[in-house]
Structure 1
Amino acid sequence: MLKIAKGRISYIAVLGAVFFMAIQVVATLNLPSLTSDIVNNGVATGDIGYIWKVGFKMVGFSLISILAAICNVFLASTTSQTLGKNLRSDIYRKVINFSNDEYDQIETSSLITRTTNDVVQIQNVGIIMLRMMLMAPIMLIGASFLAYTKDHQLTTVFLIVLPVMALFIGFLLYFAVPMFRAMQTKTDKINRIFREGLTGVRVIRAFRQDQFEQDRFEDANKDYTQNAINVNVLMALAFPVMTMIMSGTNIAIIWFGAKLIGAQSMQVGNLIAFMTYAMQILMSFMMLSMVFIFIPRAQESAKRIQEVLNLHSTLKVKENPATFNPDAPTHSLKFDHVTYRYRNAEMPALTDIDFEAHSGQTVAIIGGTGSGKTSLINLIPRFYDVESGKVELDGINVNDMALDKLHEAVSLVPQKATLFTGTLRDNMKYGKDDATDDEIWHALDIARARDFVEADPAGLDLHVEQGGGNFSGGQRQRLAIARALVKQSAVYIFDDSFSALDFKTDAELRAELRQDAHIQQSITVIVAQRIATVADADLILVLDNGKLVGKGTHDELRKTNKVYQEIINSQIRKEDDK
């Protein structure tokens, strides 16, 4: 846990918290001794002046203790909250720069839990350590020493009491720590099921699996709840048992102390002070024990956070990346015998993919489900690294380019059209911050989205709900296409981005793409399922089980390529294709 705190907290604030805690403890430890003086030298002799004198000292020490406690709490809170803020920022910064390989290793639900719940555990223990963990040992040592100075004979009581407390606390630790550790895993499970239910609610309803999903969530929820109940019941034993031990200790001290007072071996004030120190010793021991109960849970959280922070991207970036000119008059894209396999996969997802395209050309990729179409286009912006071969943009291996420059050169419309909460203008500027309204309207024109945007009085200030929930599927898809077109790129990739469009809109959109001046200087890559979408492409790639089984124009492939013919026959009647 100390490892993740390094560099994320102010050491001056930590030292300040330690300093003020020491002052608070010293001031608090002086109070029982002053009480003893009042009883022994003021009350016993009737010296009112002495009582007032020592009483003012007690008030002074109390004020010092209060002020020191306030300063300690402020610094401890600031330190723990700063640690949490920095951890959340570092995790988010790390995650946002993950390659797809890293996303495949840790579930999204677990990443959410680690960024929220796990960080909160670290924060809680951070403030506990700067309060209780500092106070407990100082108070324990100081109170033990001062109790011994009041009467060393009575300190033998602790030889019995402390081992009993240690055994009880050991019992709590033995059973509670595994339960605390399990809480994080169970939280992950609840988040995963809840997230799946939210994102897949339409599928759940369509297949009438509402009850099944409710039961699945209920089981996970009950499991978490039962674990939490068991922990709380176990921890609830601590207070009454510790109270009983403290009460027994008081009785023993009073019993033996009364005998010492009767034998005139001890003063009444000393007995009162000793009892106070005894309570401070036992409370310190209890606080220290509670810290050791909470630390394992925080340690587990720290391991989970560190696991994320220790993940190294599989995408290696050169110290001196190759220079890419996005404003070059022409561009080229080349796959040079590329093979790629997913992590831990036995078979390659793509095998020996080889083709080349130039400015103004449209490359269409078609094939059956699972043939590797999306895998292929993911290699262009280097979401994954190839296993062998190379992907070149303008003759430069994408592995030799800086990732930010590569991503500037590529504009991608993914299969799932994702919009972000805010205004439509904000979404359109996602790829180009300085885009003008004219550029946005031009992109909306090409994407055939102007009509429904203009129909709303808000226009470009139209509010977009989370995920674009206030738009239909086709509208979201057209807006996602427009957002990609606003960005001036060397390569435009449309990953099955026309699937929600009707044939007429699909044809109009592709016609607009061919006529746009900038698109004519760029390379367009289209992944599609429909023959009508790819028929007019300059180069069609036919994939089957990750292999390139055909490439050429529509006319060439429909005469010579069996897989392409099968796709045509499945979509168009033979007599319509003649």
Structure 2
Amino acid sequence: MLRLLWHRISYKTVLGALFFMVLQVIGTLYLPNITANIVNNGIAKSNVDYIIFAGIKMTIIAVLVMAAAYFNVWFAAQASQKLGRDLRNDIYQKVLYLDNDEFDKIGTSSLITRTTNDVMQIQNVTIMFLRMMIMAPIMMVGASLMAYQKDPRLTKIFVVVLPLLLLVMAITLYFADPLFKAMQKKTDRLNLIFREGLTGVRVIRAFRQDNWEQERFVKANKDYTNNAQKVFSIMALMSPITTLIMSGTNIAITWIGAKYIAAQQMPVGNLLAFMTYANQILISCMMLTMIFVVIPRAQASSTRIQEILQLQNTIVDAGQKSLNANVAAQLSFENVYFSYQSAQQPTLQNINFTAQAGQTVGIIGSTGAGKTTLVNLINRFYDADSGKILVNGQDVCQVKLSTLNEQVALTQQKAFLFKGTIRENLLYGNPKANDAMLWHALKVAQAAEFVQADHGLETVVEQGGNNFSGGQKQRLAIARTLVKQAAIYIFDDSFSALDFKTDALLRQALKNDPQMKNKICVIVGQRISTIASADVIVVLDQGQMVGCGTHEQLKANNSTYQEIINSQIKGDK
């Protein structure tokens, strides 16, 4: 955990918190001494002037202690909140650049938990460290010395009390520690089920699985609750046990001290001060107990955060070359093989095809044939196991990722829009685009009509674009891709929600658009009509390229392509 905090915590705020904490401890330890002097030198001797003088002195010190406590809390809060801010920033930055494989290992729900709940645990232990973890031992040592100064004989009581208190702490930690660690994993599970229920609520209702989902959530919630009840029940036992020990200690001090006072071996004020110091010692022990309970949970959270920050991307940006945007676009696959991690057989095998500037590449195949995997290799969402993928004549693995991403524009299968306006979503593709460029992209994507009918570019987009239909979201996503000035445009089954007329109009607009004349379009489709006009059609079957050519060539000679045609149009076309 210290390694996680070392470069992120603000040392100025930490030093500020420690400085005022030391002042608070000194003042707190000095106050019982003043009380003892008031009783011994003022009340016992009926010296009113001394009582007034000591009272004013005590008031001033008490105010200073309060001020020191306030600034200690302020600096500690500053340090912990800034630490939490930096941790969340680092996690988010890391997640943005995670490979798909690494992202899938952690999971969305766990990432959310680690960014929120786990960071909160680190923040809590940080502020406790600056408030209590350092204060408690200093207070314990200081109070012990002050108590010894008041009466060395009474300090023998702590020889019995402190080991007993430490034993209670050890037993508590032994049972509570594994339960606290389990709570984080159970929180992950709870978040996973809750998130699935929210995002899949329509599917749940459509299949009338409300009761089953409710039972699943109740089971996970009950599991978390039972774990929390166990651990907090154990922690709840600490309070009455320590209170009993503290009460027994006060009784013993009062009983023994009263005998010393009766024998005139100890002033009354010293006994009052000793009891105060004894309470400070025991309270310090309790503070340490609370801290040692929180630390294991924070340590578990720290480990989970470190897992994210230490993830090593399999996609290494080791390229030194920059793509030449001035040359004609070119895309080539040469003997490409690819397998997902832990897969028993390759997902793609022996993929070979070439596309030149101005050409459209159509990719078709059955579900699970590897179409999306193939296009994901172009912009290095994954790296091929063997073979080469060339963009503008250069191996993508030898090109800077930033340069590669500038030259490849992608519309994914699932159209996703960000909360904001249509203008903001389109500018995501090219922040420098003007209104004319935005409207041109909307027109090509067949989205200009419904955008104009609303509030134009200022039309509000709800989270995920939920205020638009599936076809509208796809067209807006396509427009966002077209706004980007790239060499290769990839449309990964992004016409699937469009009707046949809109599909045809969009493809015709792409073909006639002057800006696309020197570009390469890669269209992944399920329908023959979507890719029939492509210059190069790649047919995939179970990860293998079983055909490559034009529509007429494949229709005449490729059995897999013929089967797809027959299954869709029930005859020749």
TM-score, structure 2 normalization: 0.99
Letter in 2 for 1:324: L
Q: Residue 350 of structure 2 aligns to a residue in which SS?
A: strand
Quick one: distance in 2 between partners of 1:20 and 1:352? Answer: 69
Letter in 2 for 1:371: A
Counterpart residue number, 2:135: 135
Q: CA deviation at 1:202?
A: 2.1
Quick one: distance in 2 between partners of 1:334 and 1:6? Answer: 47
Counterpart residue number, 1:529: 526
1:42-77 CA-to-partner distances (Å, cap 9, x unmatched) read 111111111122222212221221111111111100
Determine what percentage of the aligned residue pairs are the same residue.
Answer: 58
Letter in 1 for 2:437: E
Quick one: distance in 1 between partners of 2:106 and 2:386? Answer: 26
1:471 to 468, 472, 496: 468
CA contact (8 A) 2:331 2:389 kept: yes
Q: CA deviation at 1:157?
A: 1.0
**Is residue 558 of structure 1 aligned with residue 568 of structure 2?**
no
1:304-336 CA-to-partner distances (Å, cap 9, x unmatched) read 000000001111112x6102122x251101111
Quick one: distance in 2 between partners of 1:6 and 1:274? Answer: 40
CA contact (8 A) 1:334 1:391 kept: yes
CA contact (8 A) 1:338 1:353 kept: yes
Counterpart residue number, 1:419: 417
Q: CA deviation at 1:189?
A: 0.4
CA contact (8 A) 2:327 2:392 kept: no
Q: CA deviation at 1:392?
A: 1.0
Letter in 1 for 2:518: Q
Counterpart residue number, 1:317: 317
1:488-527 equivalent positions in 2, closer than 5 A: 488-527=485-524
Letter in 1 for 2:383: D
Counterpart residue number, 1:293: 293
Query: Does 360-369 or 176-185 show the bigger shift?
Result: 176-185
Q: Residue 137 of structure 2 aligns to a residue in which SS?
A: helix
Counterpart residue number, 2:202: 202
CA contact (8 A) 1:150 1:274 kept: yes
Q: CA deviation at 1:388?
A: 0.7
CA contact (8 A) 1:38 1:51 kept: yes
Counterpart residue number, 2:373: 375
Q: CA deviation at 1:9?
A: 1.3
**Is residue 104 of structure 1 aligned with residue 101 of structure 2?**
no
Quick one: distance in 1 between partners of 2:144 and 2:57? Answer: 22
CA contact (8 A) 1:336 1:391 kept: yes
Q: CA deviation at 1:168?
A: 1.4
Q: Residue 193 of structure 2 aligns to a residue in which SS?
A: helix
CA contact (8 A) 1:329 1:521 kept: no
1:224-254 CA-to-partner distances (Å, cap 9, x unmatched) read 1122222222222222221111111111100
**Aligned residues between the structures:** 573
Q: Residue 540 of structure 1 aligns to a residue in which SS?
A: strand
Q: Residue 70 of structure 2 aligns to a residue in which SS?
A: helix
Quick one: distance in 1 between partners of 2:329 and 2:244? Answer: 81
Quick one: distance in 1 between partners of 2:163 and 2:330? Answer: 78
1:128-167 equivalent positions in 2, closer than 5 A: 128-167=128-167
Counterpart residue number, 1:46: 46
Letter in 1 for 2:53: K
Q: CA deviation at 1:167?
A: 1.6
Counterpart residue number, 2:446: 448
Counterpart residue number, 1:172: 172
Query: Does 84-93 or 54-63 show the bigger shift?
Result: 54-63
Quick one: distance in 2 between partners of 1:72 and 1:28? Answer: 14
Counterpart residue number, 2:362: 364
Counterpart residue number, 1:330: 328
Quick one: distance in 2 between partners of 1:325 and 1:421? Answer: 35
Q: CA deviation at 1:169?
A: 1.5
Counterpart residue number, 2:431: 433
Letter in 1 for 2:314: T
**Is residue 461 of structure 1 aligned with residue 463 of structure 2?**
no
Quick one: distance in 2 between partners of 1:136 and 1:428? Answer: 56
Q: Residue 379 of structure 1 aligns to a residue in which SS?
A: helix
Quick one: distance in 2 between partners of 1:310 and 1:162? Answer: 41
Quick one: distance in 1 between partners of 2:340 and 2:327? Answer: 35
Q: Residue 356 of structure 1 aligns to a residue in which SS?
A: strand
Quick one: distance in 2 between partners of 1:122 and 1:342? Answer: 35
Quick one: distance in 1 between partners of 2:225 and 2:285? Answer: 30
1:42-121 equivalent positions in 2, closer than 5 A: 42-121=42-121
Quick one: distance in 1 between partners of 2:229 and 2:297? Answer: 16
Counterpart residue number, 1:244: 244
1:67-124 CA-to-partner distances (Å, cap 9, x unmatched) read 1111111110000000000000000000001111211211100000000010001001
Quick one: distance in 1 between partners of 2:98 and 2:563? Answer: 39
Query: Does 468-477 or 218-227 show the bigger shift?
Result: 218-227
Counterpart residue number, 1:10: 10
Counterpart residue number, 1:124: 124
Where does the alignment leave 5 or more consecutive residues of structure 2 unmatched? none
1:472-501 CA-to-partner distances (Å, cap 9, x unmatched) read 111111111111111111000000011111
Quick one: distance in 2 between partners of 1:289 and 1:210? Answer: 44
Quick one: distance in 1 between partners of 2:552 and 2:201? Answer: 43
Quick one: distance in 1 between partners of 2:132 and 2:96? Answer: 36
Quick one: distance in 2 between partners of 1:55 and 1:209? Answer: 72
1:268-313 CA-to-partner distances (Å, cap 9, x unmatched) read 1110000000000000011011100000000000000000000011
Counterpart residue number, 1:343: 341
Counterpart residue number, 2:404: 406
Quick one: distance in 1 between partners of 2:299 and 2:143? Answer: 30
CA contact (8 A) 1:31 1:61 kept: yes
**Is residue 306 of structure 1 aligned with residue 306 of structure 2?**
yes
Quick one: distance in 2 between partners of 1:400 and 1:76? Answer: 48
**Is residue 395 of structure 1 aligned with residue 401 of structure 2?**
no
CA contact (8 A) 1:364 1:526 kept: yes
